[in-house]
Structures are given as C-alpha cells and as structure tokens.
Amino acid sequence: MTTGTTTAPESLETRPELKISPATAEILTGDSCPFTIQPSDLAIEWSLNPEAGSIDPHGIYSAPATLNGSRSVVILAREQGSARFATATITLSDAPQRIRWLGWFGAIVAVLLAVGVLLFWRLLSGSAALLGLVMVMGALGSMLHFASSFAQYVGNRTFQPSWFWYYVSRPFVGAGLAIIFFFLFGAGWVNSQNAGGLMRVATVSALVGLFSDRAVRKLSDILDTVLAAKDDRKDKVNAG
C-alpha cells in the first residue's frame, strides 16, 4: 500500500494578488500605453472608467485624439470568472493640442503686431496714434517673453497645459502695462514731432511688456509710496 499527498484546491486567499503595471501613467492625446498583469497567464477583461479612449484585449490603451482639458481615467483589469481585479490610474493631457494652438496664436499675434508697428509709425499721427504705438510695442515686448518662455518649456518637454491662459494673456497684459507707464512717466519721454522721442517711447513700451513682472512690482512700489498711510487702529479687521 502506498501513501501519497494531496493538494487542496487553491483558494482565493492563497492565490497571488493581481498586480498591474504601470500603476500610474501620464498619456498625451493620440498616444498609447501598454498595461500588463502579473501573474501573466490569466484571462483578463479590461474596462475604462470613464470611457475616454479605448483599451484592447491585450491591455494596450489608446488615448483619444482630442481632449478638452486634462482628466483622469481608471483602468480596471478583472480576471475572468473571478472576483479578483487590479486598477491603474492614467492622466490624460491635452498638451499637444495646446502647444499647436499657442503656436498658431503666437504667429498670428506677431504678424498683427508687426503690421501695427508699421501702421502707427508710417501712416498715423497725433495722440491716438501715439497711444496705439505704445500699446502695440508693449504687446510686442510681451510676445518676446511669450516666445522665449514657450520655446524653452516645449523644448525641454516640461510644458504644462495649466499655463495655457497665461501665455494667451501676455500680449494684453503687456499692452495695458505700457499704457499705464506711459501715463505715469510719458511726459518726459516724447516729443511727438521728434523721431527720437517716438523711438524712446517705443523702446520703453517694449521693455515694459518684455519685463512685465518687474513692471508690476515697480507699480506696486510706487503705490506703496504714494498711498502709504499710517494706521494706528487697534481693533481693525485684517483684510490680508
């Protein structure tokens, strides 16, 4: 008579845990990313929540071609005929779309600014034309800042879509700051009948747009000096 050993059926508690790789990923629109499961010899059903993009039976996820903003998607990998599952989280980014949009935006605004400079410099005269020149040069200076910063971040692959509206707003911020600085200090810059005076105005306006952050800090310093007031109140509401 021989004796042997018997093996009890493998229970859910003794079976190895499902592991999905990668557990997190950032995927750009139009790209794909393969996901794998360990143990690798299991039949897996793949699903997405929410349904953004698609995932095939082999675990290869394909991001949608277009996306309105960034969003998160959960990938669910469930073993067929079992309650075991594993999840991964992916972040969809629309950076390529925004990069293309900003590229076209920058090119169009640069052309419009160049035309504006020529128009105000050659054809128009008077106070309205002078203010127009100030605005255009301030916006042009901001576009130089826009272009250098944008090219640096895109080239280093560190562009963040959340900065999209920052870049869009730069020409308008530069134009507005140039006008404010002109009203504050312009009396000593310009003689509208003198080409040298106009060049001074154009140069300073462009520098205000180019260094708009410093310009805002300078305006803050001026207001702190002009509007400074001593406040000896003891029971005042702290608005800061």
Residues 82 and 110 both lie in one domain: no
Distance between CA atoms of 121 and 129, rounded to whole angstroms? 8
Q: Beta-strand (E) ranges in the chain?
A: 19-21, 24-28, 32-34, 36-38, 44-49, 54-55, 60-62, 71-79, 85-93
Q: Is residue 214 part of a domain?
A: yes
Global pTM?
0.54
State mean pLDDT over 183-206. Answer: 69
**Any domain includes 5:** no
Tokens 């826009």: give the residue.
146
- 240 in a domain, yes or no? no
Identify which has the larger pLDDT, 165 or 190. 165
Same domain, 210 and 131: yes
**% of the chain with per-residue pLDDT over 90:** 0
Q: Is the same domain home to 67 and 174?
A: no
pLDDT at 12: 45
Q: Report the pLDDT averaged over residues 110-114.
A: 82
Whether residue 189 sits in one domain with residue 172 = yes
Q: Is 10 helix (H, G, I), strand (E, B) or coil?
A: coil
* Pair 113, 57 in one domain: no
Please check the confidence at residue 3 and state whether its pLDDT lies above 50.
no
CA-atom Rg of the chain in angstroms: 30
Q: What is the pLDDT of residues 128-160, one digit of tens each?
A: 777 888 888 888 888 888 888 888 877 776 777
What's the order of all strands across the beta sheet hosting 44-49? Answer: 24-28, 85-93, 71-79, 44-49
Domain range for residue 30? 19-93
Whether residue 236 is predicted with pLDDT greater than 70 in this model: the reply is: no
**128 and 199 belong to one structural domain:** yes
Q: What's the average model confidence in pLDDT over 94-108? A: 80
Same domain, 79 and 183: no
The verdict on 27 and 110 lying in the same domain is no
Q: Are residues 121 and 219 in the same domain?
A: yes
Note whether 71 and 125 are same-domain residues: no
pLDDT of residue 8: 41
Assign residue 131 a region (left: φ > 0; alpha: ψ between -120 and 50; beta: otherwise): alpha
pLDDT at 192 over 60: no
If one compares 219 and 48, the residue with the highest pLDDT of the two is 48
Model pLDDT, residue 29:
79
Instruction: Look at residue 13 and tell me if it is in a domain.
Output: no
Instruction: Tell which wins on pLDDT, 28 or 191.
Output: 28
Q: Are residues 115 and 221 in the same domain?
A: yes
With vertex at residue 175, the alpha carbon angle to CA 171 and CA 180, rounded to the nearest 5 degrees, is 150
Q: How far apart are CA 183 and CA 131, in angstroms?
A: 10
What is the predicted pLDDT for the residue at 210? 83
Instruction: Decide if 218 is inside a domain.
Output: yes
pLDDT attached to residue 143: 85
The per-residue pLDDT for range 37-53, each reduced to its tens digit, is: 888 788 888 888 888 88
Number of domains in the chain: 2
- Specify the pLDDT at position 229: 61
Structure-token pair, residue 91: 């972040």
- Count CB neighbours of 40 within 10 A: 7
CA angle 178, 163, 33 (to 5 degrees): 160
The CA distance from 130 to 93, in Å, is 43
Beta strands in 58-191 (DSSP E): 60-62, 71-79, 85-93
Q: Which tens digits make up the pLDDT trace of 68-95?
A: 767 888 988 888 888 888 888 888 877 7
Establish if 10 belongs to a structural domain.
Answer: no
Confidence of residue 65 (pLDDT cuts 50, 70, 90): confident
